[in-house]
Every structure is written in C-alpha cells, then in structure tokens.
Amino acid sequence: MTQRDLIERLPKAELHLHIEGSFEPELMMQLAARNRIDLRFKTLDEAKAAYDFSNLQEFLDLYYEGMQLLRTEEDFHDLTWAYLQRAAADNVRHVEMFFDPQAHTARGVPFGVVTEGILAALKRGEKELGVTSYLILSFLRHLSEEDGFALLKESEGWHDKFVGVGLDSSEMGHPPLKFERLYKRCRDMGFKLCMHAGEEGPPQYVREALIDIGVDRIDHGNRSMEDPALIQILKDTQTPLTNCPLSNLSLCVIKDLKDSPVKAQLEAGLMVTVNSDDPAYFGGYIGRNYEKTAEALGLSDAQIVTLARNSFTASFLPEAAKAKHSAAVDAAAG
Ligand code: HPA
Ligand code: ZN
C-alpha cells in the first residue's frame, strides 16, 4: 500500500477547521450572484491570485473580506455542506468545527442565522455522510473581553449546541490572559476550552493558555518547540496540539514543509494532530495536509497511523466513541 492509499483509507477526525476558511472562490462567486453583491475579484483566477500571504494578518484581512458574502441561513448551510462533502471524501469521520460569530454579527447578520445555517448542514452531514460533528464558538481576540462576554450572552439560546469555545484572529499583542475571566466563566459553564497559541505568538502565550487558563487543547502551538520545559509539560499532560502544516507554510510560520514540527512532536511523545485550518485559502483539505507532511518529513507508516489515532484521542468525543474510531484506524492500517 502506498502512503497515499494509507492516508486515504485511514479514518480521521478534523479538530482545527474554521468553517469560514473553507469558503472556496467558486462558492464566493455563486453567493455574490445570489445575493447581488459586487466582488472585488471578477474571475476565479483573480481571487486565487490574492491568496499569497506573508503573515497571519494578511490572511485575516482577506478572510474577513470574503465573509461579507455570507448573509443568509442558506449561505451558511451551503458553506458548511460543501466542507462536509470534501471532508467525507478524505475519510474524515468526525469534525470539531470553529466558527466566528462576531465577524458576522458585527456586520448585521443575526447570530441565529449563522448558527442555524451551520447546524442544519451538520445534521445533514451526520445523516447523509455519517460524519459526526461538534461546533466550537470562537471569540475574536482582537476584540475586547467585554465583547466576548456579550457574545456569550447573545448565544445563550444555543449553548447546548456547542461543545466548547475557541480564541482566534490576530495573535500578537492579544495574549491568552486578556481573556482570563471570560475563559473562567466558560469553564464554569462546562465548555471545553480551546485557544490558538504559539502560531505567531511566543512560547509564553502557550504557557498562559496551558498553565494560567488551563485549556483542554492548544491550536497550532508551533512555538512551544522553542521551550524545552514547556515541551515536557505538553508531554506529561498529553495536551493535544492541533497542527496545520499547509497553513503554517502559507502564513510563513515555517519556510518549508520540511520545517514542520510534526515529526519532532511525534518523536517527543506529544499528542499532535494534523488539520487543515482554512483549507480554501491554504491549498488543501486534510488528506493533502497528511500527504504533503508525510512526504516532506519522511514520516513512517506507523507515524501516519499515530496521527490518525491521535485525531480521535484528542477529540472531545466520549470514550466509547474514541475507542470505536481507534479500532477502525487499526483495522484500516492492516
Ligand atoms: N489563526 C488565527 N486566526 C484564525 C486562523 C488562524 O490560523 N484561521 C482563522 N482565523
Ligand atoms: Zn486556526
């Protein structure tokens, strides 16, 4: 079996995916026509040519611009449904999906429109594709902690629909401790806690997320590798890291896929996973992330299987479901 076949056959969970980052130019063009909105880009090629970033902020500017096209419940359904079909084709069996409500409510799209559209597609994904899903409410860290509390209040009617909360957007200058009270409240409410940290920010940000806030999962976490004592804590606690190799490459977090920390993290015994982040912008869904990473780093078959197994272990699924998926990983590995 080639590694490509192995990757295709392995059941996988995707744990770091921003649904707004799966907005493909083709769907953008369709929604621009449906909602009668003028697009800055007139052709698909023009739109794709804009996808050349040198840092996180340059990506975020385009990411928020693209979202202007999402207006109706149907739009959010179509976006989510398109992602689920692609994920299912890559043998993703479970997804834990971020969405950024503040990016939509700030431009007048009601929270319920966004959430109900996404939820309708997730329900359909489970029924028609057999892909299970959890939704993660993400706070924008360039906004204030008060804005985060306001979102928590606004979303009250839907709290049973979210497994947890996340923190994304511009990392530098917006450390985890800016959101200490908000995260304490979310913890007390029973939400799982995720946080982007160490994508561009220093190891200190990962320490704050892990030690001061007590998150359940670190999104990205690349720069942890600069801090040996932090690596030891990540190993001892088996705190999952949701790495996104093609995102790291696109946003110049790494210069070359050969510099991806995934292999070193596997060899250090960390609970690392491979994910796509914003697949429409970064050149690939989860299968391509596994393939390109395995190729660049020369991962062994056993290491690829470990990544698939980790994806379920690191999920928020109940233990019984994790065990069932892990058995399916072993069966596919042969
Ligand atoms: N980092 C921070 N914010 C984001 C990202 C990311 O990788 N993707 C979407 N919002
Ligand atoms: Zn992300």
- Is 199 close to ligand 1, i.e. is its CB under 6 Å away? yes
Query: Domains in the chain, please, with CATH?
Result: 3-22+73-333 (3.20.20.140)
Count the Cβ atoms, other than its own, within 10 Å of residue 107: 12
Whole-angstrom Cα distance, residue 127 to residue 85?
Answer: 12
- Is 169 close to ligand 1, i.e. is its CB under 6 Å away? yes
Q: Which of 90, 21, 119 is nearest to 311 (CA)?
A: 90
State percent of the chain over pLDDT 90: 95
Give the pair of three-digit tokens for residue 87: 């994920």
pLDDT at 262: 98
pLDDT tier at 48 (50, 70, 90 boundaries)?
A: confident
pLDDT at 160: 98
Q: Is the pLDDT of residue 17 over 90?
A: yes
Residues assigned a catalytic role: 199
Span 307-331, average pLDDT: 98
- Is 196 close to ligand 1, i.e. is its CB under 6 Å away? yes
Strand 162-168 and strand 12-18: the pairing is unpaired
Span 85-113, average pLDDT: 98
Q: Is the pLDDT of residue 52 over 90?
A: no
Atom of ligand 1 nearest to the CA of 63: 9
Ligand nearest to the CA of 253: 1
Q: Ligand 2 mean position to 140 CA, how many Å?
A: 11
pTM value is: 0.98
Q: Ligand 1 mean position to 332 CA, how many Å?
A: 32
Per-residue pLDDT of 193-220, as tens digits, reads 999 999 999 999 999 999 999 999 999 9
Bridge partner list, 192: 164
Q: Ligand 1 mean position to 2 CA, how many Å?
A: 32
- Is 141 close to ligand 1, i.e. is its CB under 6 Å away? no
Whole-angstrom Cα distance, residue 318 to residue 326?
Answer: 12
Ligand nearest to the CA of 53: 1
pLDDT tier at 157 (50, 70, 90 boundaries)?
A: very high
- Is 200 close to ligand 1, i.e. is its CB under 6 Å away? no
